[in-house]
Amino acid sequence: MELQKYIRDVQDFPKPGIGFKDITPLLLNNEALTAALNAFIKLVDGQKIDKVVSMESRGFFFGPMIAKEIGAGFVPVRKPGKLPYKTIKQEYALEYGTDVLEMHVDAIQKGDRVLIHDDVLATGGTAEAVVKMVEEAGGIIVQLDFLIDLTFLNGKKKLAGHTVNALIEY
């Protein structure tokens, strides 16, 4: 199935000049949703994964479904002040300025084999911050799997040394 058919381009969202990739048509269509989930499971290829780690908020659409299907636990990475328990924090660069992501300190055990999932890889700043947090907690990153890679933004460069997959590339 050609998943790209289910991605809607929205110009000038959330700011003028941005071509936003809207994944909600894919989520809305059960065949496309199932095909995407099956493709994510195929990327795991039977490797042992202890935890799937995804970032708020669009990483939460597929992250828990992938975890359930491959027999792993799910770890939410959230924006500041949202997680109730003690957290590891990581600052990361945005287009303008910086932001922070947080993960619970007990979410990853030393030696855990981790799959990182998000919907979109753009500049790679978000994923790089999650890589740092997982590694700080002692996790081993097996791969990073995205629905979409905006390749013209060179996000993969920030993730050099890791296996990075995407179902759709622009």
Ligand X SMILES: Nc1ncnc2[nH]cnc12
**Residues of this chain that bind ligand X (CB under 6 A):** 18-21, 120, 122, 150
Among 75, 114, 115, 126, binds ligand PRP (CB under 6 A): 126
Smallest gap from Cβ 13 to ligand X, in A, equals: 8
Smallest gap from Cβ 68 to ligand PRP, in A, equals: 20
Using alpha carbons, select from 73, 66, 62 the residue that is nearest to residue 45. Answer: 66
d(CA 158, CA 1): 30
Contacting residues for 170 by C-beta, under 8 A, at least 6 apart: 21, 148, 149, 150, 151, 152
Q: Does 119 bind ligand PRP (CB under 6 A)?
A: yes
> Could you tell me the two tokens for 64?
């828990």
d(CA 114, CA 83): 20
Binding mask 28-67 for ligand PRP (x = CB under 6 A): ---------------------------xxxx---------
Q: Does 139 bind ligand PRP (CB under 6 A)?
A: no
Smallest gap from Cβ 153 to ligand X, in A, equals: 8
Using alpha carbons, select from 53, 94, 100, 109 the residue that is nearest to residue 77. Answer: 53
From the list ligand X, ligand PRP, none, pick the one residue 20 interacts with, judged by a Cβ distance below 5 to 8 Å according to partner type: ligand X
User: Would you say 3 or 121 has its CB closer to ligand PRP?
Assistant: 121
Rg (CA), the chain: 15
Residues with a catalytic annotation lie at 58, 95
User: Would you say 19 or 80 has its CB closer to ligand X?
Assistant: 19
Count CB neighbours of 154 within 10 A: 13
Among 118, 142, 145, 167, binds ligand PRP (CB under 6 A): 118
- Burial class (CB within 10 angstroms; exposed 0-12, middle 13-18, buried 19+) of 123: middle
Smallest gap from Cβ 116 to ligand X, in A, equals: 15
Q: Which residues bind ligand PRP (CB under 6 A)?
A: 55-58, 118-127, 155
